[in-house]
Chain A
Amino acid sequence: MSKERIKISEALYDIMPTDYQDLVKSATYGKEDRGWKDIGTAKELIEQHSLCAGCPESMAFRYIMASLPNPEDTVMVGSTGCTSLVFPMVAVHNIHSLFGNQNAIASGLKRALSVRFPGRIKDVVVLAGDGATVDIGLDMTLQSWFRQEKFTTICFDNELYANTGGQESGLMQKGFVAKMAPVGKQFEKVRLPEIARESGCHYVVQCTVSKPSLVEKVVKNAVYVAREIGPTYLQLYTPCILEIGKNSMEGLQEMRDSEKPTERFAYKEFVSEPAKQLLAEIAAKEKERKAAAKQLTGQAQA
């Protein structure tokens, strides 16, 4: 799809919802250097959400939607949980089918798009919570990586089952007392980033979403590598402030505290050799493009 596809018949313009009019007027489909800085000046691809006030997941959602390099040809796959409350408000095609089967859905979807649109870019991005990714869906998460399916998996790690009310999950810290972990969780937080690397992911990052510029960078890298090389995985800390006893305004600080070098969400990155090469090529091209743009601006001023 290109932005030209999103048009409204003049006869119907005034009865279309305002947010759809805004999508047509000022969304960033097709904008080459779209990113988090568009937030506030362009129409976002996520409309108002129904998450809790101050939920870091809502920040993550906005940064990701602003950072997808090719939203006009991106299809997203979700799972059941808090994310499934947001997806209906997202202006790219997105699929919710069952709980935990998101990487299986994405495998079939990516292959169908490859068969139907040979030679065209069609990105697939999975976005699901930690219960869906690591517990009920772990088999399908890993198998899609073993098969080298070419799509990005993003896990919103809030270290518990938030939507059902704060039960223990595999990504929960050891010792944390929660519903279904009445005497504290008995085993360590599952090390999925390491497992992702060993399972064949070519680009793996664990971080928090405290810095939008970082989220933009890792989302773009993950999508580019998945498009050209193979599976990629992002594990983003999006604490459930409600379930860890924080107030609405404390989410950001919670993430900053947890990303310190000695903490469990210290930045972690694995990049395969082919992915390193690809990202270097992309960075070189980007540098060239910026230099050319600067030169053009200079000429215009001169």
Chain B
Amino acid sequence: MAETKSLIGTQNKKGQTYTDPWYMLNEAPRTPSFFTGSEVIKEAIRRASCDIMIAYPITPQSEAAALIGELFAEGYVGDYFRGESEFAVMSQCAGASFGGARVFTTTAGPGTMRAMENFPMWAGARLPIQMIVTCRGINSPLSIQPDTLEISYLLNTGMMVWHAETAQDFFDWILKGFIVAEEPDVHLPLALCCDGFFVTHTKDVVQLTPADMCLPPYDPYRSPVPCMDMECPPVRMMRDPFVMKSNYISYATHASWQQEVWAAVERSRKHAIHWLNGLIDAENTDADIMIVASGTAVSQGREAIRMLEDEGVRCGLVKIKTLRPWPTDEIREATKHAKHIFVPEFNVTGWLAKEIRATIPDHHRVYAGPHVCGGMTMPPEIIVSEIKTALGMKTFSLAGRGS
């Protein structure tokens, strides 16, 4: 059986020291670097003691997936290959995870949709795979531009779903994501989402942890379900296979296991609060007007708040970091004084606004918007305009929108 005692303080074959994750991420010195989001993904995986990465080209994650290939060539990742489609890649990730490996992959938009059948299977099989989703539009019509609609399809898969705002979030959350996902009482896959291009293809200053420190390796024997490596004695698992049986015990087995998967999402809450310093960040929660958002819509909201302040309108901000687990109590608390809640989103359906409406009392306070989609940017001016219009304030005219 593989070694299960602590490896902290020892070195891997690349000379990196397996480091206590809390020390590495919260106390170790950081170095500022000017990187694209894709390069940041590479730098996080360099430090993640990843066993296997499986890649497939789709814009806008192709660069990150290829950069991790370079890491493999340098010896930082145990194995790496290009699969034949996202459906196959996500199954290959599952196979590797069933076999006890720490597994990482990336996808986007149509790829997420093609692979969809795998995600509830990952969660049901309790595979702590980390998947980066660099959100882009979903066909039709064809679009390669940023759009967060695909996240809404992930919300009911049983995966944890986190939504990063910046490249810095991304760097930290990739590493923290493995830690939370692999907790024995969680042991679930994580979809770590960001808005494609805005995060992946723009450069930003990111504070990196030392390159000679890395996470301790994954220990598959802390899993709540058997690792499929024939290192533990096999048993005949059930008297009758419950698949396709029409009897009460088969329904009860399936039902209780689904409930357990969602209970595991729930149990990830305390770990996510610990590692992400809360499931939301909130500012000025005593303001009458609140902007509640996730991803890069938070950045645009922050800029809109600054513009409104110049005009004497005070507005607070909630940045939602985790969508699953959903920060119910946190959002209720942060919005309890708000008379008006605006939810800017990069998608056509406004799924985040729906989630918030379903969570808070007096949901008529929620304004679902502004929305942009299909790759349009969201200038802070349109958030300002949306807020002022809703409040009956005079606003400037935006081209093409009328007012």
Binary CB contact string for chain B from 69 to 101 against chain A (1 if under 8 A, 0 otherwise): 000000000110101110111011111111111
> Which residues on the A side are within 8 Å of B83 (C-beta)?
104, 107, 143
Stretch from A72-80, A183-191, A239-247, A266-274 at the B interface = A72-80
Binary CB contact string for chain B from 212 to 254 against chain A (1 if under 8 A, 0 otherwise): 0000000000000010111111111110110110000000000
> Which residues on the A side are within 8 Å of B244 (C-beta)?
84-85, 163
Complex Cα distance, B25 from A185, in Å, reads 62
Binary CB contact string for chain A from 201 to 224 against chain B (1 if under 8 A, 0 otherwise): 000000000000000000000000
**Complex A-B, nearest 7 residue pairs according to Cβ-Cβ distance, in ascending order:** A108-B95, A112-B99, A108-B96, A104-B91, A112-B101, A108-B92, A105-B95
Given the interface pairs A112-B100, A147-B81, the reply to whether A72 lies near B51 with Cβ below 8 Å is no
Interchain CB contact under 8 A, B52 and A108: yes
> Which residues on the B side are within 8 Å of A74 (C-beta)?
230
Complex Cα distance, B236 from A87, in Å, reads 9
Interchain CB contact under 8 A, B240 and A112: no
Interchain CB contact under 8 A, A104 and B88: yes
> Which residues on the A side are within 8 Å of B117 (C-beta)?
98
From B233, which residue of chain A is reached at the shortest CB distance? A6
A-B contact pairs, 5 of them (CB 8 A): A85-B241, A88-B240, A91-B236, A108-B98, A111-B52
A119 to chain B, nearest CB (A): 13
Contact partner, B91, options A73, A89, A101, A111, Cβ 8 Å: A101
Interchain CB contact under 8 A, B96 and A101: no
Complex Cα distance, B237 from A86, in Å, reads 11
Interchain CB contact under 8 A, B97 and A112: yes
Interchain CB contact under 8 A, A112 and B95: yes
> Which residues on the B side are within 8 Å of A50 (C-beta)?
240-241
Residues of A within 8 A of B (CB): 1, 5-6, 17, 19-20, 47, 50, 72-75, 77, 80, 84-98, 101, 104-117, 122, 139-140, 143, 147, 163
Q: Which of B46-86 contact A (CB under 8 A)?
A: 51-52, 54, 78-79, 81, 83-85
> Which residues on the B side are within 8 Å of A77 (C-beta)?
95
> Which residues on the B side are within 8 Å of A1 (C-beta)?
230-233
Complex Cα distance, B99 from A85, in Å, reads 22
B287 interfacial contact with A, CB 8 Å: no
Given the interface pairs A85-B243, A104-B88, the reply to whether A91 lies near B234 with Cβ below 8 Å is yes
B285 to chain A, nearest CB (A): 44
Interchain CB contact under 8 A, B85 and A88: no
Interchain CB contact under 8 A, A109 and B233: no
From A94, which residue of chain B is reached at the shortest CB distance? B228
Interchain CB contact under 8 A, A93 and B229: yes
Interchain CB contact under 8 A, A116 and B228: no
Interchain CB contact under 8 A, B233 and A108: no
Interchain CB contact under 8 A, B85 and A139: yes
Known: A6-B233, A101-B88. 4 other contacts (CB 8 A): A1-B230, A108-B91, A116-B229, A122-B230
Complex Cα distance, B230 from A163, in Å, reads 29
B121 interfacial contact with A, CB 8 Å: yes
B2 interfacial contact with A, CB 8 Å: yes
B118 interfacial contact with A, CB 8 Å: yes
Complex Cα distance, B160 from A109, in Å, reads 23
A218 to chain B, nearest CB (A): 22
From A102, which residue of chain B is reached at the shortest CB distance? B91
Interchain CB contact under 8 A, A143 and B236: no
Interchain CB contact under 8 A, B98 and A140: no
B230 to chain A, nearest CB (A): 5
From B129, which residue of chain A is reached at the shortest CB distance? A108
Interchain CB contact under 8 A, B79 and A115: yes
Contact partner, B98, options A47, A105, A114, A139, Cβ 8 Å: A105
B24 interfacial contact with A, CB 8 Å: no
Interchain CB contact under 8 A, A97 and B100: no
Interchain CB contact under 8 A, A72 and B101: no
B125 interfacial contact with A, CB 8 Å: yes
Contact partner, B118, options A92, A94, A98, Cβ 8 Å: A98
Interchain CB contact under 8 A, A116 and B240: no
Contact partner, A113, options B121, B229, B232, B236, Cβ 8 Å: B229
Complex Cα distance, B83 from A110, in Å, reads 14
Complex Cα distance, B81 from A200, in Å, reads 18
